[in-house]
Amino acid sequence: MTETARSTIDQSEVDRFSAMAAEWWSPTGKFKPLHKFNPVRLAYIRDKACENFGRDPKSARPLEGLRVLDIGCGGGLLSEPVARMGASVVGADPSEKNIGIASTHAKASGVSVDYRAVTAEELADAGETFDIVLNMEVVEHVADVEFFTTTCAKMVRPGGLIFVATINRTMKAAALAIFAAENILRWLPRGT
């Protein structure tokens, strides 16, 4: 199998998140934990990007002129605020429904994000490169983690950054972060 024929897509995961697409922008809905965590995550991304690219994190648009890929962007919860920081953002997700929700919200919010229903491998095969690649809570939903991370890394320009976040894969994390968050506290939809 050639690299271009390989796929990282787990269709059951795409279907699961497509079914929840209308919930992305509800701060009290299924993605409430992402809404709550986003300010911390955004500050970290901004600060590390500014440190790497010699920018002032206190400026109104500290990521001005940087090209950013938000792979697995879902409804655009991370893409929009990164674009507000001045970055030229490509939000990519294999779910047409997610991209539709993200595009509609960005337009209504007056934020410019280039949303595309594509995969990481399609972007890499097209020769796309970025100053920053955001891979946040995505690796646990792909079919081939090694190929996915390698593909994402290939799109980072020399001197650029890649941010990867996922739940720790330990028994303690499974018990606390997954079982409790999904089944006891009901902070997350089951199976996500």
Tell me: pLDDT of 45 over 80.
Answer: yes
CB burial readout 96-114, b (16+ within 10 A) else e: ebbbebbbebbeeeebebe
- The pLDDT value recorded for residue 2 is 42
Tens of pLDDT, residues 85-139: 999 999 999 999 999 999 999 999 999 999 999 999 999 999 999 999 999 887 7
Q: Would you say 74 and 93 are in contact if contact means Cβ atoms under 8 Å apart?
A: yes
Helix axes 96-109, 11-19, angle to 10 degrees: 40
Q: Would you say 151 and 121 are in contact if contact means Cβ atoms under 8 Å apart?
A: yes
Instruction: Specify the CATH superfamily of domain 3-184.
Output: Vaccinia Virus protein VP39 (3.40.50.150)
Separation between Cα atoms, residue 21 and residue 6, nearest integer Å: 26
Share of the chain above pLDDT 70, in %: 78
* Structure confidence at residue 71 as a pLDDT band (50, 70, 90): very high
- The pLDDT value recorded for residue 1 is 39
Checking DSSP bridges between strand 130-136 and strand 67-71, what pairing results, if any?
Answer: parallel
Q: Look up residue 143 and give its two tokens.
A: 């079919």
Q: Would you say 24 and 98 are in contact if contact means Cβ atoms under 8 Å apart?
A: yes
| Full-model pTM | 0.81
Separation between Cα atoms, residue 2 and residue 94, nearest integer Å: 20
For the chain, the structural domain boundaries read: 3-184
Separation between Cα atoms, residue 86 and residue 51, nearest integer Å: 16
